Structure 1
Amino acid sequence: MGFTARGVGLLVATVALLAVGFRFAYPELVLLGVAAGSAVGYALVIASWRPRLEVTRHAEPDRVGRGETAAMSLTVRNAGRLRAASLVALDRCGETTVPVPVLRLRPGRDTTVRYDVPTDRRGVVPVGPLRVTRGDPLGLVAVSRLYGAALPVWVYPRIHPLTAVPTGAGRSLDGRMDAVAHGSITFDSLREYVVGDELRRVHWRTSARVGELMVRENVDTSLPRLVVLLDNRAAAHPERVGGVVESFEAACEAAASVVTAAYRAELPVVLVLVAPDAVGAVGSGAVGSGAVGSGAVGSGAAPLDRLAAVQLGEDTLDATLARVRADRLGDTLVVLTGSGGHDSLGRIGALRGVYPSVVVGVFGAAEPAHAAGLVVIDAADGAAFAAEWDRVRRW
């Protein structure tokens, strides 16, 4: 609760009139002071009434690509029983506010407002809560209260279609390196038979020895697995244009394009960030929920959520590369960096012994980058990266 400028002036006048009136025995001044104090008291009573409002919101949809249309539907219901509500309400939408008219809203009634959510920039747009400001008729006091919870709208980077996906090279359990497009089936273990298992998978020799049906479990050991390493260090993207780091936005678009292409090809893919992120991070460069399982729609949203929320951070490249080397997350490594990542190509190239195929995308560089043993793609933006990506003939 706060006093307006008019309210502060009237409150000061009240104190002054009462003090002077009582000090010098002027009943007229005392009467004026009492009237002014009564007005202030009336304003406090009127403004202190808390309307019972129920606020619900629904995003249509809550996850969109950059530049696509998203809208927010806000419903305000008067849950009170006695009086109608006429209020001034503002709903937060990112960095702006949207006026929400709540005029003569009778008890038990509701009103719905629908407005567009800005999607011209990648990121997470917080929408809400609703700020309701109530004042008195004299304009002396204003009280602001928050209603409803905030709802984020995820704006994904632009996704550029990629026609080619690295086939990768997988190591089978018998020690061979296979470069295949669809993987191979290799024996992994035995388990007890359950209803629905195919009889041709029953291992009869073991079943006869243990006295119950045992079934072979096979794994697809040569299935290509992609690792997308997004360099989100501030040092890797030093140039800003109008407050926007264009090279980093292009790298995010490239990462989203590779992840989406792998998902559509039903290939496992892991998203790793150099600097820790706020969504799904367990530590420096943590994979966390960033892995996409083939054929799982629900799990496919996690990497794109991280790409929508990711920001530039501290330099933890050495720790991340050490983890990527130790964990051996896949067989094809795709590194996406900016013009400031030129000096890191040597350290990235050292992973060539762990990952049979290493692809590096460099964005916003003034001169083409070269590194022995690496496939380097120089691009100005995400669309140029997609075009150069499809021109690569040998991974």
Structure 2
Amino acid sequence: MRLTARGAGLCAAAAVLLGVGLVFGYPHLVVLGTASVAALVFAAGYVWWRPRLTVSRGVEPDRVMRGESSTVTLRVGNASRLRGATLVAHDRCGPTTVPVPLLRLRAGGETTAQYPVPTERRGVIAIGPLHVVRRDPLGLLALARGYGGTAQVWVYPRVHRLTAVPTGVARSLDGRDDRVPHGTITFDTLREYVVGDELRRVHWRTSARVGELMVREQLDTSLPRLVVLLDDRRSSYPDPELFESACEAAASIVLAAFRDALPIALRLLSGTAHASGSSARSFLDVLASVEISDISDFSSISVLQAERVGDTLVYLTGSSDLSQVSALRTAYPTLVAGVFGDDRPALERVVVLAVRDGEEFAAAWDGVQTW
């Protein structure tokens, strides 16, 4: 509960009137001061009454690409059977508030209001709760209360179509590209026999040729072939729009991989989030919620080097310093670096795509002759 400017003035006037009237013996001033206090007490009782409101909120759709439309629909009803409600309401929509016209909501009545969600920026937009402000007829006091639940709108990065996606190295001795997506064990390499190895895994033809037992090393082809590593360090992006472009590139690669039924994993350089699996929504949700962080270490790179979670790694950054990522060349047969900005770095055995935004990245990506 707060005093309005009019209420604060009346409160000050009541104090002066009562003080002067009691001290100097002016009964008329005392009456005026008492009336002012009575008005404030009435206003407090009026605004303290809590109207019985029902609030339901719907968002359609709740997941959109940047720039697409999304609409919030509010249904507010007065559940009281006797009293109407004179209200001023505002719904929270991200960092701003949206006015909702609820003035003179009659008893048992219901009103519907709609407003668009601002989707010009990528992110997760929190919607609600509905803040209802009740004022007394004299405008002396105001009291705000929250009604209804909350909702969220995921604004995904803008996506640019990529016509080709690298499929990684072949995992078969026959030289075929194995695309079995889940739960398949296939041959990877040969190694010397050690005590405890199963004899059924011995490759007898190679053993006879080299003169010692050689064992097949198996590999689970359900491991993702494509890994996207997004640099989310604040120091890497002199312009925040470059980070938005990197997010657009990551989203474009993710959807292209799902279009071609290619397993993929998404990692953040900060290590704060990751995504994998068979649903593109989990990837896009991460890309919608990711924010620039103040990390300065490269611990995620060492983890990727040790785990080797794919065949092709795509590193997206706004920094021209690729020295740390170059260590991954031994773990990943194909290494692609998307560098956003005006710098044009070059690195041996790394496909470097130096671009300024997501659209240029898509053009440069499709311009690669072979993956």
The alignment's TM-score, normalised by the length of structure 1, stands at 0.81
Does structure 1 conserve the Cα–Cα contact (< 8 Å) formed by 2:171 and 2:177? no
Give the Å deviation of 1:120: 1.1
Work out whether 1:347 is the aligned partner of 2:324: yes
Does structure 2 conserve the Cα–Cα contact (< 8 Å) formed by 1:125 and 1:155? yes
Residue pairs, 1:315-326, within 5 angstroms? 315-326=295-306
Does structure 1 conserve the Cα–Cα contact (< 8 Å) formed by 2:223 and 2:310? no
Amino acid at match of 1:368: R
Give the Å deviation of 1:109: 2.4
Deviations 1:294-317, CA, capped at 9 Å, x for gaps: xxxxx3211111111111112344
Residue 365 of structure 2: aligned partner: 389
Q: Structure 1's 358 and 219: CA in aligned 2 closer, same or farther, altered over 3 A?
A: closer
Amino acid at match of 2:15: V
Amino acid at match of 2:292: L
Q: Unmatched 5+ residue regions in structure 2?
A: 187-217
> How many residues are treated as equivalent by the alignment?
340
**Alpha-carbon distance in 2 for matches of 1:48, 1:323:** 58
Q: Structure 1's 367 and 8: CA in aligned 2 closer, same or farther, altered over 3 A?
A: closer
Work out whether 1:377 is the aligned partner of 2:362: no
Residue 211 of structure 2: aligned partner: none
Residue 94 of structure 1: aligned partner: 94
Q: Unmatched 5+ residue regions in structure 1?
A: 190-217, 282-286, 294-298
**Alpha-carbon distance in 2 for matches of 1:186, 1:118:** 43
**Alpha-carbon distance in 2 for matches of 1:224, 1:186:** 12
**Alpha-carbon distance in 2 for matches of 1:185, 1:89:** 52
Q: Quote the RMSD (CA, aligned, Å).
A: 2.3
Deviations 1:24-72, CA, capped at 9 Å, x for gaps: 2221111111111111111111111111112111111000001111111
Q: Structure 1's 179 and 309: CA in aligned 2 closer, same or farther, altered over 3 A?
A: farther
Residue pairs, 1:1-395, within 5 angstroms? 1-169=1-169, 171=171, 180=177, 182-183=179-180, 188=185, 221=221, 225-238=225-238, 240=239, 245-277=240-272, 281=273, 287=274, 290-293=275-278, 299-338=279-318, 341-343=319-321, 345-364=322-341, 366-395=342-371
**Alpha-carbon distance in 2 for matches of 1:185, 1:254:** 26
**Alpha-carbon distance in 1 for matches of 2:317, 2:182:** 36
Q: Structure 1's 247 and 126: CA in aligned 2 closer, same or farther, altered over 3 A?
A: same
**Alpha-carbon distance in 2 for matches of 1:187, 1:155:** 36
Q: Per the alignment, in what secondary structure is the counterpart of residue 347 of structure 2?
A: coil
Deviations 1:110-169, CA, capped at 9 Å, x for gaps: 111111111111111222221111111111111111112221111100111111011102
Q: Structure 1's 346 and 300: CA in aligned 2 closer, same or farther, altered over 3 A?
A: same
Aligned-pair identity in percent equals 51
**Alpha-carbon distance in 2 for matches of 1:219, 1:104:** 70
Q: Per the alignment, in what secondary structure is the counterpart of residue 232 of structure 1?
A: coil
